[in-house]
Structure 1
Amino acid sequence: MTRARRELVDLESTPYYHCISRCVRRAFLCGEDRLSGRSYDHRKQWILDRLKTLASVFAIDVCAYALMSNHYHVVLYLDRERAAGWSLDEVIDRWYQLFRGQLLVDRYRAGKPLTGAESQAVRKLAETWRARLVDLGWFMRCLNEPIARQANAEDSCKGRFWEGRYTSQALLDEQALLACMSYVDLNPVRAGLAETAEEAGFTSIHERIRALGPNGGPSQAQANANPGGLRGFAGEQAEPASEGIPFPLMDYLALVDWTGRAIRQDNKASVPAHLAPIFDRLAIDPDQWPSQIEHYGQRYRRAVGTLDRMSAFAARLGRRWLWGIAAQNRRPGPQPI
């Protein structure tokens, strides 16, 4: 039975979520239309621009993205603490960047006198907006709906642009986050659209590599900070977690590069010595890793993590089973993802 998206998001379990939206009938509405020969590649830039705009307004960071011709992937971090720290005025200012205001709030912003009941109404409304500005469903709605309207206007047509609702997937631990981000960043490589992650346009890893510059570019610390509006990498000992993605940037880039080569070479690429500590720290089997990334989309649905974490997440959602638990249960030894 279909469940509301809000029932599949539990910030007590994880702030990281992987979302996918597909074009209706999986048509190439953001790429080269095979029937008409018309190119819609420019719509990928629409999505990217909107994604960056929303990340600057919401208390939600973009960790990874891949914009394909008939669908897109995005890995998001929902920062509830940041939203809680906003003042009343900041919440209102952020909301007004995306939506029309309300008369009572307009009066408040203009400094006009309000009764006690009116002031309370403004505060109540702002708290509703605060919750929405860290809500996954509202973020995806604000991303998909304007793109659909813009595309339909360009095509002079009506109807659905996106294939139903977006899908969301909880990333329950560091291994799951690393696997999902690698899977997303390598989408064009797996699809045969690029030889390396560095060559794959409209992906977060392409943007991060460009931010480093031709000779390493800015310092690693500067590149980690927030290149192009993306969530930065904080290193493996990041405390608190809200400081950034809990891996070193250069290790992540090296891992994705090797994984892409291993997938292209049918898992025959040898593991470089400098990647061994990453696999050891996260209890990942390097022999299974390329296959895990290549088949990630078929193995997991609503959540990704160790067997214990997936079982606990299912229980919090009132479920006894999630797609992927059986696969984890059959695997011997540590279940990294």
Structure 2
Amino acid sequence: MPKARKEQVSLSDTPYYHCISRCVRRAFLCGEDVVSGRSFEHRRQWVEDYLLKLAGIFSIDVCAYAVMSNHTHLVLHVDQQQALSWSMDEVLQRWHSLHKGTLLAQRYLNPELRSELDAVQLQAVSDTAEIYRQRLYDLSWFMRHLNEHIAREANKEDQCTGRFWEGRFKSQALLDEAALAACMAYVDLNPIRAKIADKPETSAHTSVKIRIKQANQAKQPTALYPFVGNPRSNMPNGLPFELKDYLALVDLTGRSIRKDKCGFISASDSPILERLNIDQSSWLALTTGLEQQFGGVVGSSASMVLYKSEHNQQRLHGMGAAKRLLNSA
């Protein structure tokens, strides 16, 4: 029986999560239907555009993503502290960019009508804003907005009704830096594993393609969670790796996967692996089978044992993989 979402998402353990949504229909989310001959490639852009739009509204950052033929992969960072720092006005404005909200909240945001609200009404607006604030850093609400929007657009285009997604999205908690790095690479390399792209810079509708394009201009994409370098004191918010190291590692890993054999990654070219203490064969195993190797949480054996103890769980799927692949991380 699936665990309740609140039991799978624990911000006290980690703000990073791998989310997967799969399409229920034979007619793909994207790609070409070999039976009808219709192409749904344009839907990839729907997903990409709305995903990045939501990231600008919610207090949830996009670390990595890949839009595949019948499923999507996302690596998300939940920034609870940012949401808690927002003023009531900002919370309401963000929520109202997606929904009409309550009548009182609409009146509050209208400078000409705000002064007419009494103390009881202002308190009601404040209470409502706190509900919206919690939703704006809630992973389930983020995924609900994304998937419902795509389902409505697809149903409209297909002139039909009914379920579009297989069910609720699957999530994996990424407990440590090793799990985060492996999962991001796993997501960014999805098109290469599926043999629909030859190299990361040609992997359409992936985060790595955007990052490479911006890196060529010595920039980082503003819509994605930035790389801020190795952990240090007074570290800014962002991914705890060097961008150049990550891109080099993804490129080398992609070449190994594309050759359909266990390729060699030089340790001198992969400082992320050096810092995380992951050997080359383990890295390739992680970046080709992370979903199969792990269940709801991904991390080193020490991280998973701590998680299991704190959540009073008897067993965790993937403990063997953690010991085999990430035990030294």
| Pairwise TM-score range, normalised by the shorter structure | over 0.9
Q: What SS does the aligned partner of 1:288 have?
A: helix
Task: Read off the aligned partner of 1:9 and give its amino acid letter.
Answer: V
Q: Distance in 2 between matches of 1:273 and 1:3?
A: 39
Which aligned pairs between 1:265-276 and structure 2 lie closer than 5 A?
265-276=259-270
Q: Does 1:80 align with 2:80?
A: yes
Among residues 108, 117, 122, which one is paired with 1:119 in the alignment? 122
Aligned twin of 2:4: 4
Aligned twin of 2:164: 161
Q: Distance in 2 between matches of 1:12 and 1:41?
A: 39
Aligned twin of 2:252: 258
Q: Distance in 2 between matches of 1:308 and 1:25?
A: 40
Q: Distance in 1 between matches of 2:26 and 2:171?
A: 18
Aligned twin of 2:226: 232
Q: Distance in 2 between matches of 1:68 and 1:268?
A: 24
Q: Distance in 1 between matches of 2:40 and 2:166?
A: 17
Q: Does 1:317 align with 2:323?
A: no
Deviating more after overlay: 119-128 vs 237-246? 237-246
Q: Distance in 2 between matches of 1:270 and 1:91?
A: 49
Among residues 302, 319, 334, which one is paired with 2:327 in the alignment? 334
TM-score by length of 1: 0.92
Q: Does 1:182 align with 2:185?
A: yes
Q: CA contact under 8 A between 1:14 and 1:171: conserved in structure 2?
A: yes
Which aligned pairs between 1:280-295 and structure 2 lie closer than 5 A?
280-295=274-289
Q: State the 1:114 CA deviation.
A: 2.1
Deviating more after overlay: 6-15 vs 99-108? 99-108
Q: What SS does the aligned partner of 1:75 have?
A: strand
Task: Read off the aligned partner of 1:291 and give its amino acid letter.
Answer: A
Q: Distance in 2 between matches of 1:38 and 1:308?
A: 49
Q: CA contact under 8 A between 1:311 and 1:321: conserved in structure 2?
A: no
Distance 1:33 1:328, change over 3 A: same
Deviations 1:79-119 (A, max 9, x none): 01110110010000000000112111122222232222221
TM-score by length of 2: 0.94
Q: CA contact under 8 A between 1:234 and 1:246: conserved in structure 2?
A: yes
Q: What SS does the aligned partner of 1:57 have?
A: coil
Q: Distance in 2 between matches of 1:333 and 1:91?
A: 40
Q: What SS does the aligned partner of 1:73 have?
A: strand
Aligned twin of 2:203: 200
Query: How much is the aligned-residue C-alpha RMSD, in angstroms?
Result: 1.8
Distance 1:239 1:90, change over 3 A: farther
Distance 1:99 1:256, change over 3 A: same
Unpaired segments of 5 or more residues in structure 2? none
Q: State the 1:26 CA deviation.
A: 6.1
Q: State the 1:286 CA deviation.
A: 1.3
Aligned twin of 1:23: 23
Q: What SS does the aligned partner of 2:205 have?
A: coil
Q: State the 1:332 CA deviation.
A: 8.3
Task: Read off the aligned partner of 1:16 and give its amino acid letter.
Answer: Y
Deviating more after overlay: 265-274 vs 8-17? 265-274
Q: Distance in 2 between matches of 1:283 and 1:31?
A: 38
Q: Distance in 1 between matches of 2:240 and 2:28?
A: 35
Distance 1:335 1:273, change over 3 A: closer
Task: Read off the aligned partner of 1:59 and give its amino acid letter.
Answer: S
Q: State the 1:334 CA deviation.
A: 3.0
Unpaired segments of 5 or more residues in structure 1? none
Q: State the 1:252 CA deviation.
A: 0.3
Q: State the 1:261 CA deviation.
A: 1.2
Deviations 1:46-105 (A, max 9, x none): 111110110000000000000001001000000011101100100000000001121111
Q: State the 1:335 CA deviation.
A: 4.2
Q: Distance in 1 between matches of 2:187 and 2:325?
A: 26
Deviating more after overlay: 6-15 vs 105-114? 105-114
Q: Percent identity?
A: 50
Q: Distance in 1 between matches of 2:24 and 2:153?
A: 15
Among residues 235, 243, 254, which one is paired with 1:249 in the alignment? 243
